[in-house]
Structure 1
């Protein structure tokens, strides 16, 4: 089966979104001006090719079995958060100086949401104190080494391994993927995952879900917020690392100990998007060079 269709994507930058360092997954595979990725739709493996032309996404599905097009559209709309009213968000930024200064650096940037929640959990753990390039390479290595391969016209594409497979690895084997000391966290979290109500986190309120994730090895506050934001689209999540601390102190003169309360009061359900735009602004503008 091979099908083509288009999706409206106003105020969306596909490349910027995929390469913004969000820990839901590595960027999709570039190919001839577009990107390829394996998606599971209705429990069937499908190769998705996506290209952007102005305000439309051109999508091709290749699958060995018939798959409903509306299901693929739903997945694409979700993964790239295309239903989010980004213009209302821009209005919010414009009304909250100095946030108005970040828009031009990140226009079209949206959440890059997990296609596989377990992959997002492991990616977020692997990203702790690690460069974007290193953790994305590590996750791709894990997929090639222990995921299941599917043959398509454009090559072999790999699913992310199950918790059972990662739980059965030894520390040295997983370290060979490039995750470093995080290998033991990943193995132990994979063993625990069946005892944590992961599927129920979407329906929980933010605070309860946050505290449950903190029980997983290798998951501190920042990683928990990454999982909640990119894995479960809890928009009140605000991942904080040392750079975000410095940016917030520089822009708002907010003390680190009061940061979470400040974010809750000032940003509310836009918190996750504000963090995404601030981080991208910091990377592109060079402001981090002057922030101590």
Structure 2
């Protein structure tokens, strides 16, 4: 099906924004895998073609791409004269959206992400999907596409099998997370009903989950748009560009969107000290 999107929407920028690891350039478009669903999306004549039925788009992908939220209006909160750096970052990152991703998939993905670069994270995730998920599609380049394994599927892998997926020291964290979700010790679905502070506390109890991973899970897994994960790039931006503090109160409840603009802009262009 083909649709026109009248808001910020840029496939390349979303794919490169650091929030998703199964959203990749493929041929003349992008392959997107979420849970056990697959879609190929490409831009044609200022519209977007999705390789799915209208019913599937309306029931899943429209929500996944957060198309009921106006990111243009969110960018409108930024005053250039008040915060030129964030304004420039938002203009540069125009088109980024915060995807509505699955809490389970994001928990495992960001546990794996610790001290890994993005290509390495993606490679490890694909290895896990290949051995524990199931084939759901073939992409336009002829590659098999596998679902992200369920907690039950992943819990059946041994630590040794996980280690073979290039997880390094993270193998035991992933293994325990799967066991905790299967046992109900980590009830990710019920956690959707609690507030951000309580959610943070629940996540920090999990083996191998620190503040950064927890914030990524809150923002990208639970779509709490005020969460503000801090990595090397964001910490540098805050130190260099905001020595007197970032205007968190002004941008509430969209600080997570601002974080994405800052991350994308600083990682692409560096952070000038002058």
TM band (smaller chain):
0.7 to 0.9
Q: How many residues align?
A: 268
Partner of 1:64: none
Q: Point out which structure has higher relative CO (alpha carbons under 8 A, 6+ apart).
A: 2
Of residues 62, 70, 77, the one that matches 2:62 is 77
Partner of 1:128: 114
The within-5 A match list for 1:153-232 is 154=140, 155=142, 156-193=144-181, 194-232=184-222
Partner of 2:97: 110
- Asked whether 1:27 is paired with 2:23, we answer yes
Alignment gaps of 5+ in structure 1 = 62-66
User: Does structure 1 retain, via aligned residues, the 8 Å contact 2:225–2:254?
Assistant: yes
Of residues 260, 266, 272, the one that matches 1:282 is 266
> SS at 1:52's partner residue?
strand
Which whole-Å CA distance do the structure 2 matches of 1:250 and 1:74 have between them? 43
State the TM-score, normalizing by the size of structure 2.
0.88
User: Once the two structures are superposed, what CA deviation does each residue of 1:42-68 show, in whole Å capped at 9, x if it has no partner?
Assistant: xxx65422112364221122xxxxx7x
Runs of 4+ aligned residues of structure 1 deviating over 4 Å after TM superposition are: 151-155
User: Does structure 2 retain, via aligned residues, the 8 Å contact 1:7–1:73?
Assistant: no
Partner of 1:140: 126
Partner of 2:5: 8
Of residues 136, 141, 154, the one that matches 1:150 is 136
Structure having the higher helix fraction is 1
User: Once the two structures are superposed, what CA deviation does each residue of 1:259-280 show, in whole Å capped at 9, x if it has no partner?
Assistant: 7xx6643432111001101011
> SS at 1:49's partner residue?
strand
- Asked whether 1:100 is paired with 2:87, we answer yes
User: Once the two structures are superposed, what CA deviation does each residue of 1:239-283 show, in whole Å capped at 9, x if it has no partner?
Assistant: 0123211211211104xxxx7xx6643432111001101011101
